[in-house]
Amino acid sequence: MYATAWPKVRVCEVKGCEVKICLLNCTINLHRLPTHKGYTPYAHTDPGICSEVKREGSQTNTPTRNNSFVYSWPGCQKNLSAAKSSNFSQFTVNFQNFLYYKHCRHFPLLLDIPDKCGGANESADVFLLLVIKSAPSNYDRREVLRKTWAEERLSNGVKIRTIFIVGTMDAGWEGERFSKLLEVEHQEYNDILQWDFKDSFYNLTLKQVLFLEWLERNCPHARFIFNGDDDIFANTNNIVEYLQGLKDNNGSKHLFIGGLMVGSPLVRDFWSRYFVSVELYKSDIYPPYCSGGGYIMSVHTALIIYNMSKSINLVPIDDAFMGMCLDRAGLSPDSHMGVEPGEWSVPSGKIDKYDPCYFKEKLLVHRFFSGNMYLMWKKVNDPNLKCYTSNPWHNNKTVIFRW
């Protein structure tokens, strides 16, 4: 289920059979690299100097800038003692594998974008970072998002930048084809973060933690993050306007909003994909959290969550895990009326469910697929669209409904 071994270095340039590692300002950043006992970062001490190493039997990738961090991790080993858990034999194979490997939190980046925010020191120029959970096979969704709400641009005078976070598929011809597709996308758009672990429902929490680790290293001074799935409609222009209207919070204070879930019980049915064992999490109720379809947080809060995550057992429910980290930090998520985390309905049965006047005022709506996504983005941004009624959260500006 998980990768069990990987090369001891990452590369930034490939020439023929030689692999070159080129580092800039590496010495001032090495203290940020986590290390395991017996393993140390591999790096030169002189900025800009390249070291040549040979890497056998593995594919190489080329980041866009020569400022990647280079380090080695021990291979992730199966924890056989997990089989001693109560009722282990009754768990699904997927959950059993999750228990075998849940201690593994460090996987190599196959595709990296260390310059996405302009470098760590310049990352404050990024106002909103869109972090979109995707699977290798979801090319059509990524392509539509790049043309609609996830397009990198200036919105109301501030920068929006986009990242798709993905893992890998099983070995085989299909897996190889999608790996090559991701490489092509990465070269063209510079928006793919890919780690060497299996992309699955049970690894969504791992994916989230790995992104937060990347954020701390490469984009620690950005202002806000939108974190969501690739099947949602996000009105990113509204999100920017909402964030710009916050009082005394430019991303340096706590913010975590979305579709709030309070008092959600843990699922203890072995057969359910949402099952979490008592040994993994003892409480029968999750702390408050926001539905994982999409939520908005300050980078300040994101970095706190990452620090809290280091001392909390991973659970396979990624949105609940974020709430657990907030709870450990003494922070709370909040609801927002502009977020529709589940099935939505318009206020009148006499109009189309996809009436653009309903979506024009929303921050995000979950479960939206490619064709409808593209059409809706065009409609809500049509200057000739006429809607009436005021939006109660839109800073007293009149935006809205036709009914």
Q: What's residue 167's pLDDT?
A: 97
Do strands 126-133 and 158-168 pair parallel, antiparallel, or not at all (unpaired)? parallel
The sign of the CA dihedral 148, 151, 153, 159 is positive
* Successive 10-residue mean pLDDT values, the chain, 403 residues: 38 36 34 31 30 28 44 77 95 96 94 96 97 97 97 98 96 91 97 96 97 97 97 96 96 97 97 96 97 95 98 96 98 95 74 88 88 93 83 43 36
Please state which CATH class domain 109-335 belongs to. Answer: alpha beta
Q: What's residue 249's pLDDT?
A: 96
Q: What's residue 10's pLDDT?
A: 40
Domain ranges for the chain: 1-75, 109-335
Q: What's residue 59's pLDDT?
A: 34
The three state secondary structure string of the chain is CCCCCCCCCCCCEEECCEEEEECCCCCCCHHHCCCCCCCCCCCCCCCCCEEEECCCCCCCCCCCCCCCCCCCCCCCCCCHHHHHCCCHHHCCHHHHHHHHHCCCCCCCEEECCCCCCCCHHHHHHEEEEEEEECCCCCHHHHHHHHHCCCCCEEECCEEEEEEEEEEECCCCHHHHHHHHHHHHHHHHHCCEEEEEEECCHHHHHHHHHHHHHHHHHHCCCCCEEEEEECCCEECHHHHHHHHHCCCCCCCCCCCEEEEEECCCECECCCCCCCECCCCCCCCCECCCEEEEEEEEEEHHHHHHHHHHHCCCCCCCCHHHHHHHHHHHCCCCCEECCCEECCCCCCCCCCCCCCCHHHHCCCCEECCCCHHHHHHHHHHHCCCCCCCCCCCCCCCCCCCCCCC
pTM: 0.81
